[in-house]
Amino acid sequence: METAETRLVKFGIFMTLQPPSIICYLASIHYILSHRNTRQALHNHGPLVLLFVGLLTVIFDLSMILDFLRTGVVTPSNEAYCSMWIFLDMLLYALTCALMLWISIERHILIFHNQQLFDTKRKRFFVHYFPIAFIFGYLIVFYAYNVFFYPCKNQYDYQVVICSGACFAFANPILGLYDQFANSVVPYLLITIVNVGLWLRIVWQKHYRMRRAVDWRQHRKIIVQFAPVLIVYMFG
């Protein structure tokens, strides 16, 4: 049961962490964008997009949560604000899940199939750039329609965080389950499976000498750099 005291404790913790989080996001983004080789490296594009999504989450979604924790009431208390908050909250979370999954999958491709799948601009477009664009397009359309245009009447509760949620999940339980599993649970499970599979594949390659040698020094950054992000995501 949420009380005024627990809200204030959460407010103090989140408020303390928000500024350094924004600084870390901005510093990481600036580092990638300001170094040409780092900026052009394919394995940095996915994490860069993920950093922007995280920055938007901390600036907008967390700020809305902080305002609610401070007052105990959604302010302003109107449907437009609630709908926008729900849209941003659901979209940014789903984008984080989907991008984490794609980055995990792409590491397999970059390490083990780099020459076959990235040797032409056409292949790079379809294998590298298109999946990220598709993730954004699909999730923006999905949540924009279901939050703003789905034929149901929202019954927002202004004393509950994110106004108790969008009506589409209650009006259409199948659609609500699809959203929960397809955009959250399944990506979470696949992220775990794909990353465990990557480490097992690396061990197999290094110890059992498959036909095609892999330059482990060249791909060390790809293997190591994403591990802290993955750990924070899985256990955070």
Domain extents for the chain?
4-235
> Which pLDDT score, from 0 to 100, does residue 167 have?
96
The residues near 76 (Cβ < 8 Å, ≥ 6 apart) are none
Closest CA to 183 of 135, 217, 215: 135
> Which pLDDT score, from 0 to 100, does residue 124 have?
87
pTM above 0.85, yes or no: yes
Closest CA to 101 of 187, 186, 200: 187
**Cβ–Cβ contacts within 10 Å for residue 117, how many?**
16
Decide yes or no: CATH 1.20.1070.10 for domain 4-235: yes
Closest CA to 142 of 194, 101, 186, 98: 98
> Which pLDDT score, from 0 to 100, does residue 112 have?
79
Q: In the chain, which residues have pLDDT < 70?
A: 1, 115, 206-236
Residue bearing tokens 């390490």: 111
What's the maximum distance between 2 C-alpha atoms anywhere in the chain? Answer: 63
> Which pLDDT score, from 0 to 100, does residue 224 have?
61
